[in-house]
A and B are shown apart, each in its own frame.
Chain A
Amino acid sequence: MGMRYFGTSVQRQEDKKFLMGQGRYVDDIEFVGMLHGAFLRADIAHAKINGIDTSAAREIPGVHAVYTLDDLGDPYPNKPMTTAYASPLLKQTICQHLLAKDEVCFVGQTVALVVAESRHIAEDALSRIVVDYEPLPAVADCRNALDADAPATHLGLDSNLVGNFYGKFGDIDAAFAEASHTFKVDFHEHRGGGHATECRNIIANYDAGKDETTVYLTTQAPFLIRRLMARYFEEDESKIRVICPDVGGGFGPKNGPYAEEFVLAIVSKQLQRPVKWIEDRRENFVATNQQGDQMWHMEIACEDDGKILGARGRVIHDMGAYVPYGLLLPATSVFPLPGPYALPALDVTLDAVFTNKTCTSPVRGAGRPNAAYAMERLIETVARGLKLDPADVRRRNFVRKDQFPYTTGGTLPSGDPAVYDSGDFHSLLDMALENAGYEDFKERQAAARQEGRYLGMGISSCIEDTGFGPYEGVKVKVQPSGKVLLQTGAASQGQGHQTVFSQIVAEELGVDIDSIVYQSADTGTVPHGVATAGSRVTANAGPASQAAARLVRKKALKLAAEVLEIDEDDLEIEDGIVRATAQSGRNVNISLGDLSFKLTPLMNGKVPDGFEPELEATSFTSSTGVPHASGSSVAEVEVDVETGEVKLVNYVIAHDCGKMINPMLVDGQIIGGVVHGIGNALFERMVYDENAQPMSMNYGEYLLPIATEMPPFEVLHQETPSPHNELGVKGAGEGGTIPAANAIIAAIENALEPFGVVVNDHPVDPQRICELLDEAQARSGAA
C-alpha cells in the first residue's frame, strides 16, 4: 500500500487557530472571580532577611491578600521543595522554600506574593512591601566557586560543591602514554535561557465541591508536575489536574517544577478563588531556569594522523543557587562526549557548583551542545596542532557504518551502556561538505583575502541520543460519528505533535487525517505521559500512536469480518470505510463509525460476543533502545577584521533523524534549532556583575537571533532508520542546536587563520574578536 500521510509534508492541523488569533494560551483564559498575583522577588543575589513588612501593601484597595512564607501557613515554612531528579551523586541537594525563608540566594527568588483584583494593583502593592535585607557575599562566577576563599553561596555551607559527575571508560593512562601528540585546550561555554516567546504562566483554580485543584500551566511536563505537586502536598494525584493549553514555546526551562505553581495552588485553595500569575519578561530573565556556564580544561592524546586515543579533563559546571533539576544537566554534558567518534578512552570529571544565580536546568539540547562543543573543540585543536584538514580528522575518527550497533564504553544516566544504533557519519559529512562547496572554498578564500575580505568555513559533527524513555501514552478511539479521537500525554509547545501523530494514525488506521480529533496534555483526560524534552516525543509517542492505531484496526477488521460475513484478509480500510477488497469479488462495506456504534450500544443493544466495548486502544509502546540522530554542519562566515563583525554567509546541515514522518516539520525543528545554537555562539549572553547582580534583563541587552542576522539554511537529509522502533524514527528537536556553536566558532577561526586567532570561548562578540586580533598581533609583533 502506498503511503498517503507518512513521510509527506502535510500542512499542520494546528495552524488555523493560531493564524486567526484563536490560540488559547494560559493568559487568554479567564474565570469568574479570578484574581491576579504578582511576586516580590529578591533584588539582591545573597542576603539574610531580617524582616518583611507587608502592612502597607495590604492597605491598597483591590488587594486581597499578601503572603510571605509564614503567611502560607503550616507546614510550608518548614517544607522546602524537593528536587525533581534525586541522585546519589548529589552531595548537597539544597532546594528553595516556596517563598524565601531567612535568606535569599539569587536575584529573582520568590519572596512574597500579592493577590489582587488586577495585575496593575498587585504591582502597585509590591512596591509597598519592605524587606529588611542584610547583604551577604555572593558567588557570581562558577570558576571561583570552589576556591578556598570563595564565599558560601548559602549560609552555613562548608563547600559550594553540589556533586560530581564522571565520564570514564577505557585505559586513559595508556592512551596518553602511547600518544605521539597531546594537546591542551581550555574553553568557557555560556548558554543563556530558553526565551520562549511566551513566559511561564499559571492559573490555579480550586474547586471546593470536588476538593480538586486544576492548574493551567505552561509546562512541558504536565504529568511530572502533577506527581511532584501530589507528592509535596501529600495528596492523591486525582486531586490535582494539570492542563497545558496552547504553549508558546518550551525549549527546556518550561519543564519545571517551579515554586510559583505550588504557591498558586495553595493560595487558590486558601482564597477559594481562581488565581492567575503571568510571568513578565523581566521576571523571566531571573526567575526562569537558564543553562549557565561551564569551564572546560581538556587534554587530548592522538597519533600523527589525527587518530584520537583518549581525552581527559575537568569541567566546572554552574548549577545556580538551588538544585530543582538534580544532576540531569551535568549528566547530559558528559555522557554524550564521545559524539560521533570512536573514542578509545575518556576520563572527565565534572564539578557541579552552586553560585548565587538563577537556577539551571536544560535549555534546548541540555548539556549535549556543550559536550558536542567540547569534542569538536578537541577535533579542531588536533587539526590545528597537526596541520590537518579538520574534515579529515573527523573522518579518521568517526564510528564507521559497519560498527553499528556501537558501544561507546560510556554509560547513560539510566545506567545502561551507551550504544549507537545506526547512522552513516562519513556520508553525512560528505553530503554537508559537498553542498557547502568545501572543495573549492580554499580558492574562494584566497581570492577574498587578496581583497582584504576574510572568509571562513567551519565544520561540526554530532550525534544526538533521542527518544529516551520510558514512554508516552497514546489512546486511539473511533467514535460513532466516525471521528477518531487521538489522545496523548505529551504536551506540545509548537512542535506539531497533532499533525505528526495524526499522520501516523491516519496512515495506520486508514482514515482521512481531517477526521482525527486531537487531545493532549491534560492529566484529567489523556493517558499518562512523561515530558516533551530531549527530542523524545516522536520516538515514544510515535510508536505508541502506531501501535494503538494498529490495535484499533485489528479490532475493526475482526468485527467487520463478522458483520459482513467475510474473511478478514479480504478487507481493507480506506477513508474510514472497511470494505471488501477488489480481489475478494464481494461488494460490501461498513464504516468505522458504525463499527464503533456496535461496540457502544445503548440500553436496547448488546456488545457482539467475543468483543470488549469501545473501538479503542491505548498503547505505551516506545522505542526499544536509544535512537541516535546524527548530523554534520558546515558554516561559512565573513569577518570584518576592522570591526570584528561576523556575517553568516551560509549554513548547511546534513541530518539523519531516521525516517521522517513530515519532512517539512523536521526542517522547521532543525532550522529553529540551529538558530538557537547560533544565538549561543554569537549573541546570547546573560551578564552578571561580580556581586551576581544580573545586568541583562531586557531584549535590548540580551540579544536573541533575528531574521536579518541569519544566513540561508540548507537542510539535507539522510534517512537511516532506527532499528529501535518499527517506524524507524529518531528525534529531531535538538539536532540543529547541538553542533551549531563549533561550526560558527571554527568558521571564525578559519577566517582569521592568517592572524593566528583561536576563539575557543563562546559566545564571541565583535569586541572580543577585535581583542583577539590585537592579542594575536601583539604576539606576532613580540615574536
Chain B
Amino acid sequence: MKPGRFTYHDPTTIDELTGLLASLEDVKFLAGGQSLMPMLNMRFTQPDHLVDLNGIDGLAGIALNGAALEIGAMTRQATLMKSGEIAEHLPVMQAALHWVGHFQTRYRGTIGGSLCHLDPSAELPLIALLCDAELTVVGPEGERSVAMGDWPLAYMMPNLSEQEILKLISITPWGGHHGFAFEEISRRRGDFAIVGVGCQLAVENGSITKAAIAIGGADQVPYRLSEAEAALIGQPASEETFAAAGEVARQKDAMSDAYITAAYRQRLANVLTKRTLAAAAQRATGE
C-alpha cells in the first residue's frame, strides 16, 4: 500500500499555481491530505502530478470583512475550531467541527479540502450550505464566485474545473438573535455521519421568523430542506411544527449502499431534523 509515482509540485503563490495548472495534465491537489493520502496509498488514485497547496501564500486564515467571515480554503479544521471569530459569529460551524474526524486529523484537514472532496456526509459542506456560503475559485482564467447551492454538481463532484482550486469561503452570518444546532448519527465517534443535520432558527414571540435546514449524508449531495424552511415561517416553535418538518425530511429521496438503506437514512433525516430544530429553538428563545 504505497503510492504510485507522481511528479510533485509545491507552488508558493497563486500565480505560480495558475501558471502550473495551465501546463499540467492529470493533476491532483493535495490540501490537508486526510482523504487524498489514503487514496494515494491505496493506489485508488494515481495522478501523474501532485500539486501541494500547503505552501501557497495567502490561502489560509480567517478574517472579518464587513459582515462577512472570510475563510481561506487552506484553513485547518483545528484552527477553525479554536477561532474566536468562528465561535462568536458562526457557532453552528464550531458545533459541527466537533464531529469532523478526530483531533489528529483536524490538525491537517482543511475546510477547502472538505468542500472539494464533497463527501455527501461531510460536516463542512453541510454547514457551508446551511450558511449560504459564497465560494471563490481561481484558475488560469482568473477568479469566479460560486454560491454554495450551486457547488455540488453530483456525487462528490464540485463545481470546479480540473484547472481550478477553491480559494476562499465567505459566509455572512445571520444577524440578530437566533438559535442553531448541529447533530449527526454515525456508528462511532469520528466516523463519517450516516446522516447529519444542521439548522438555524430565528424565533420572535414564539413564532418562527427565519429558518434554514441542511441535511448531509442522506442523498448523493447535501441539500437544503427548502420546502420545510418555507413552511416553518410563521409557525409556532413547537414539537408539532418540528415533527412536520421532520416528515418533510423523511419524504425526500435518499441513497442506499452496501451498508445503509435509503429507509434508514430517511428515518434519521426525520429524527435529526426534529431534534436539531427543537435544540435550535431552545437556543433561540432560551437564556
A and B in contact, CB less than 8 Å: yes
* B143 at the A interface (CB under 8 A): no
B43 to chain A, nearest CB (A): 7
Chain B CB within 8 A of A772 CB: no
Contact call B43/A766, Cβ cutoff below 8 A: no
Contact with B along A670-696 (1 / 0, CB 8 A): 000000000000010001010000010
User: A771–B190 Cα gap in the complex (Å)?
Assistant: 25
Q: In whole angstroms, what is the CA distance A672 to B138 when docked?
A: 51
Whether A683 pairs with B259 at a CB distance below 8 angstroms is no
Residue A27 interfacial (CB < 8 Å): no
**Could you give, for residues 1-16 of chain B, a 1 whenever the CB lies within 8 Å of some chain A CB and a 0 otherwise?**
1111100000000000
Contact of B259 among A124, A642, A701, A771 (CB under 8 A): A701
Q: Mark the stretch among A89-97, A106-114, A702-710 that contacts chain B.
A: A702-710
Known: A281-B1, A642-B271, A643-B268. A708 touches B188 (CB 8 A): yes
B177 at the interface (CB under 8 A from A): no
Contact of A119 among B2, B38, B264 (CB under 8 A): B2
Give the distance in Å from the alpha carbon of A729 to the alpha carbon of B281 in the complex.
61
What residue in chain A is nearest B274 (Cβ atoms)? A642
Which residues of chain B are within 8 angstroms of A683 by Cβ–Cβ distance? 187-188
Measured between alpha carbons, how far is A124 from B258 in the docked complex, in Å? 30
Return chain A residues, CB-CB under 8 Å to B260. 767
Task: Give which listed residue, A120, A643, A708, contacts B189 with CB less than 8 A.
Answer: A708
Q: Which of B5, B43, B187, B189 contacts A765 (CB 8 A)?
A: B187
With contact pairs A643-B185, A706-B189, A770-B267 given, residues A123 and B2 touching in the complex (Cβ less than 8 Å): yes
B227 contacts A by Cβ under 8 Å:
no
Q: Interface residue tally of chain A, by bracket?
A: 20 to 34
A781 at the interface (CB under 8 A from B): no
Find the A residue at minimum CB distance from B267: A770
The tally of CB-CB contacts under 8 A between chains A and B is 55
Chain B 254-287 against A: per-residue CB contact (8 Å), 1 yes, 0 no? 0000111100100110010000000000000000
- In the complex, A243→B258 CA distance in Å? 41
Q: Is the CB of A767 within 8 A of B261?
A: yes
Indicate whether B192 reaches chain A with its CB closer than 8 angstroms.
yes
CB neighbours (8 Å) of A644 from chain B are 264
Residue pair A700, B192 in contact (C-beta under 8 Å)? yes
By DSSP majority rule, is chain B's interface helix, strand, loop, or mixed? loop
Cβ-based interface call for B240 (8 A) = no
Is A645 located at the chain interface by the 8 A CB criterion? Answer: yes
CA distance A766 to B260 in the complex (A): 10
B265 to chain A, nearest CB (A): 9
B258 touching A282, Cβ below 8 Å? no
Q: Are B264 and A767 interface neighbours, CB within 8 A?
A: yes
Closest to B268 in A: A643
Chain B's closest residue to A685 (CB) is B259
Quick check: is A280 within 8 A (CB to CB) of the other chain? yes
Interface residues of A (CB under 8 A from B): 119-120, 123-124, 127, 280-282, 642-645, 683, 687, 689, 695, 698, 700-701, 703, 706, 708-709, 765-767, 770-771
Rank and list the top 4 A-B pairs by shortest CB-CB distance, nearest first: A280-B1, A708-B189, A767-B264, A120-B2
Q: Offer 23 A-B interface pairs, CB within 8 angstroms, sorted by A.
A: A119-B2, A123-B1, A124-B5, A280-B1, A282-B42, A642-B267, A642-B271, A644-B264, A683-B187, A687-B258, A700-B191, A700-B192, A703-B187, A703-B188, A706-B188, A706-B190, A709-B188, A765-B187, A766-B187, A767-B260, A770-B264, A770-B267, A771-B264
